[in-house]
Amino acid sequence: MRTYLKIIKYLQEIFLFISIITMMVLPITIVFYPYFVSNTVVSKLYFISHVFLFFVMMIRPLADIFTNVKWIRPLVILRKGTGVLSASIIVSFILAKLIVDPVGYFMSIGMLKYWSMVNYTVLAHLADISAVILLITSNNFSKRILGDWWKKVQKLSYVYFYGSVLYVYLSYRDIDLLIMLFITTVLIFIASIKNKKRLIESKENVI
């Protein structure tokens, strides 16, 4: 188990390192070397982002459901690294827009059509904003500053996940993402039932 925990620690550092490199390189590549970022590459990047986000959303419910499986719970640690990596890809595209036209980007946020349900764009923008907030607050400094609010802010991961997945599915009919959404929702539902049951049992034992 000690070796297993060390591997998880190293993976965490690797994910965070890749995230930093992604945000340094990807926005510049998108803006100045767009021929490297074809539609196929963009699709693959978004898919990778969703895969890591899927891991973030499903691993804690899995750990809560299979409490006797000892190797699952330590994987919850990786939610930070995988979550940051997922968000770093999304934020990189936002940074690219800011490099090209920062004024235009911020002005568009204040327009009603930016939040329109036409083409489901509101779902994408809610997911983008959630990704930015989650990325900014994914550190110990934010934990200390926000205190009890930090956990509440982290619940934006649900907005990030469901907003992003629903947007891509509704826009492009990507069945893989629909499967991710279904699995995650089922796991969250089962985990919530089990957690409530354990809470009731613990209260009964106290009495």
> What is the Cα–Cα distance from 115 to 109, expressed in whole angstroms?
8
The pLDDT value given to residue 206: 61
Q: What confidence tier does 66 reach under pLDDT thresholds 50, 70, 90?
A: very high
Q: What confidence tier does 173 reach under pLDDT thresholds 50, 70, 90?
A: confident
pLDDT in tens, 6-57: 999 999 999 999 999 999 999 999 999 999 999 999 999 999 999 999 999 9
The pLDDT value given to residue 205: 66
Lowest mean pLDDT among 65-69, 110-114, 176-180: 110-114
Tokens representing residue 15 in the block: 């994910």
Q: What confidence tier does 1 reach under pLDDT thresholds 50, 70, 90?
A: confident
Q: For the chain, which residues make up each domain, given as ranges?
A: 2-206
Give me the DSSP letters along 78-114. GHHHHHHHHHHHHHHHHHHHHHH-HHHHHHHHTSGGG
The pLDDT value given to residue 207: 57
Residues found in the chain: 207
Q: What's the mean pLDDT in 171-198?
A: 93
Are 30 and 93 contacting, i.e. CB atoms less than 8 angstroms apart? Answer: yes
The pLDDT value given to residue 110: 81
> What is the Cα–Cα distance from 22 to 133, expressed in whole angstroms?
17
The pLDDT value given to residue 165: 95
Claim: this prediction has a pTM higher than 0.85: yes
pLDDT in tens, 98-154: 999 999 988 888 888 888 888 888 999 999 999 999 999 998 889 999 998 999 999
Give me the DSSP letters along 133-193. HHHHT-SHHHHHHHTTHHHHHHTHHHHHHHHHHHHHHHHH--HHHHHHHHHHHHHHHHHHH
